[in-house]
Amino acid sequence: MGMHVSDCSLSTEAEPPYLRLPSVPELNPYLIAYLFGFPSGETRNVLVDMQVFSAGGSVRLTATGNPTGVTVGFTSFPIAVPISLTTTADGFASVFVQRNGQTGFDWHSVDVF
């Protein structure tokens, strides 16, 4: 797995530490989790553990081979968001997480099944 993250901070006060993507209007935070080494053309279910901590918008998750994606609004606690993906011919997939509006979110993990 690899990641690319823009405009975020690492929150180390929790155990384990997590990524916080803030609701600051000057920033445009997003996160991409890259998944490697899977068979080609395989459909997998993914659980993204996250929390949307401000009510000013929502967070959209999209994945390789899944044009519809999932939108998540404010949550008062961390949740596991399911999304499906289909790997490419090279066995690659990704999950893209980006805010809509003035909201912030915490990224905890991604589990592939």
Min mean pLDDT across 25-29, 51-55, 76-80, 97-101 is at 25-29
pTM: predicted TM-score of the whole model, two decimal places: 0.87
pLDDT at 6 over 90: no
Domain of 33 in residue numbering reads as: 2-112
Best-predicted range by mean pLDDT (24-28, 42-46, 96-100): 42-46
- C-alpha to C-alpha distance for 59 and 104, rounded to whole angstroms: 8
Peptide bond preceding 39 in cis form (omega within 30 of 0)? no
- Per the structure, how many domains does the chain have? 1
CATH number assigned to the domain comprising residue 85: 2.60.120.260
The amino acid that residue 98 corresponds to is Q
pLDDT at 72 over 90: yes
- C-alpha to C-alpha distance for 88 and 44, rounded to whole angstroms: 12
